[in-house]
């Protein structure tokens, strides 16, 4: 019998985004200690995908949402199930299996979809309906899970509050462990070990598991970028919560001081065919043209770089950028592209407000700029571009920080939890019913809440001191 099943909600293969990468790397680390199965959606599988998946040190199961019984049958043969995203809503049968269920919510999707729908759905009533659906999916994940994975302490605070409001944290959870370690683990997105010895060494040691490539390959793919250019790299997609407008306006200003600056947006699409196109892409292209930033200066790569072939691009870049708007999604986000900047030794220029801005500021890994401030961003780009010594110093400082995020280290809390659970040290907490959650949400002013409480409050109250009984009587009469 396999021990652990990880179910990815996103594509896993030669080309994959954050959720698929996370599921793949977690499975890789866990497979060193357990028998692991990784399940992923069975979209069109290319020869590159097959070659990639064939090298997995664990079993890979490609599922079809139209045939849920096949995944459920595979899940019946494991002892622990790890899910992410919308998996439970797509396969509700997983909720009913008598298996410990781990919910990976490093990506609090219910916050992201609010911003996506703001642009995609013009009608407020329809947006409310879609949001309530997404919120229901999120809440059901929190209600049914036995253990929860988050990417940062900020996310832990967010999820702790959600669990508390849904009745998952109460007297029973307190008795099991007041630190809630049995319920929550901080498992950041990770990186593999790499090296970059010097500024001029853009073809440094190959990354373990990555396909080899050369500067010539990069040059053939991006002939606009010359050796003398200072390349800014936007290492992911252009989602609705980012701010390419401020970056493009800052590029125009910065190039007046340093015309060597060029900008590469690494991906304008997504490897998952179910992910809708982002409105930010055509808007960014239109603005770049309006500002006179030609395709020789600002490059939009319309493809998706293979996971194991992205190294030479990051190694060729000089500065990694991540510019976003500051709002509540920002506070709880964990920008996975920042890990690639860290992995490949790229000095970072990022906007204030997220968890990586704190890391960059505290550890001296680049520059943190004010949200929406074109002049502040342009100044930071010009300073870093003109100081190769500072960029080299930043790469040296990244060496120690990088070790904190090795996948072997970040996945360790999950591996330890699985070890304890498979050894029999698992205490399932009672999951509140939907009716109970409704009563919690209704509060003491709701008649149903009062009727439910009176059923057990009387016997309890008789054991309390008279002064407390008097206060309770006033409460019920209020």
Band (215; pLDDT cuts 50, 70, 90) = low
pLDDT value, residue 433: 75
The structure tokens listed for 379 are 């100044």
309 closest CA partner among 16, 57, 19, 18: 16
pLDDT value, residue 425: 87
Rounded to an integer, the average pLDDT of 350-369 is 95
Rounded to an integer, the average pLDDT of 405-425 is 95
Rounded to an integer, the average pLDDT of 57-80 is 95
CATH of domain 4-189+410-422: 3.40.50.2000
281-337 residue pLDDT tens? 889 999 999 999 999 999 999 888 888 888 899 999 999 999 998 888 889 989 888
Q: Domain 215-405: state its class.
A: alpha beta
Give the span between the Cα atoms of 326 and 364, in whole angstroms: 21
Tokens 């999120």 correspond to what residue? Answer: 138
382-415 burial code (b ≥16 CB/10 A, e <16): bebbeeeeebeebbebbeeebeebbbeebbebbb
pTM attached to this predicted model: 0.85
**Tally of CB atoms within 10 A around 161:** 11
Q: Is the dihedral of CA 416, 419, 424, 430 positive or negative?
A: positive
Q: Is the dihedral of CA 65, 67, 71, 76 positive or negative?
A: positive
Higher pLDDT, 275 or 75: 75
450 by Cβ neighbours in 10 Å (0-12 / 13-18 / 19+) ranks as middle
pLDDT value, residue 275: 72
Domain parsing of the chain, residue ranges: 4-189+410-422, 215-405, 443-477
pLDDT value, residue 197: 32
Query: Can you tell me whether residue 224 is helix, strand or coil?
Result: coil
């Amino acid at each position: 019998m396999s021990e652990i099943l990880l179910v990815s909600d996103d594509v896993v293969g030669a080309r994959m985004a954050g959720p698929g990468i996370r599921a793949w790397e977690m499975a890789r680390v866990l497979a060193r200690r357990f028998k692991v199965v990784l399940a992923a959606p069975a979209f069109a599988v290319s020869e590159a995908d097959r070659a990639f998946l064939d090298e997995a040190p664990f079993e890979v199961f490609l599922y079809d949402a139209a045939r849920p019984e096949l995944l459920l049958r595979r899940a019946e043969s494991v002892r622990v199930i790890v899910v992410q995203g919308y998996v439970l809503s797509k396969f509700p049968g997983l909720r009913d299996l008598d298996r410990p269920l781990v919910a990976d919510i490093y990506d609090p999707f219910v916050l992201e979809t609010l911003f996506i729908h703001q642009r995609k759905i013009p009608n407020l009533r329809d947006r409310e309906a879609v949001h309530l659906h997404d919120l229901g999916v999120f809440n059901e994940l929190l209600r049914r899970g036995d253990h929860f994975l988050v990417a940062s302490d900020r996310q832990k605070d967010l999820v702790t509050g959600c669990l508390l409001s849904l009745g998952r944290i109460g007297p029973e959870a307190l008795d099991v462990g007041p630190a809630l370690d049995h319920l929550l683990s901080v498992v950041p997105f990770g990186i593999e070990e790499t090296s970059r010895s010097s500024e001029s060494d853009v073809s440094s040691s190959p990354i373990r598991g990555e396909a080899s490539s050369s500067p010539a390959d990069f040059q053939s793919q991006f002939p606009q970028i010359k050796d003398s250019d200072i390349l800014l790299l936007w290492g992911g997609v252009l989602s609705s919560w980012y701010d390419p407008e401020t970056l493009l306006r800052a590029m125009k200003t910065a190039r007046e001081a340093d015309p060597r600056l060029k900008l590469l947006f690494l991906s304008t699409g997504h490897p998952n065919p179910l992910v809708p196109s982002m409105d930010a892409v055509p808007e960014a292209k239109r603005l770049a043209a309006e500002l006179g930033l030609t395709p020789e200066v600002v490059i939009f790569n319309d493809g998706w770089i293979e996971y194991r072939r992205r190294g030479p691009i990051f190694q060729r870049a000089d500065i990694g950028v991540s510019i976003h708007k500051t709002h509540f999604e920002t506070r709880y986000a964990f920008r996975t592209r920042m890990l690639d900047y860290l992995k490949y030794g790229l000095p970072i220029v990022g906007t204030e407000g997220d968890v990586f801005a704190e890391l960059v500021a505290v550890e001296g890994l680049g520059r943190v700029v004010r949200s929406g401030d074109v002049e502040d961003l342009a100044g930071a780009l010009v300073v870093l571009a003109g100081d190769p010594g500072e960029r080299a110093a930043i790469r040296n400082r990244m060496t120690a920080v990088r070790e904190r995020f090795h996948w072997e280290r970040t996945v360790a809390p999950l591996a330890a939890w699985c070890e304890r659970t498979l050894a029999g040290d698992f205490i399932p907490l009672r999951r509140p019913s939907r009716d109970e959650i409704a009563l919690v949400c209704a509060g003491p002013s709701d008649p149903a809440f009062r009727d439910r409480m009176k059923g057990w409050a009387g016997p309890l109250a008789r054991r309390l001191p008279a002064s407390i009984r008097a206060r309770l009587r006033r409460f019920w009469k209020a």
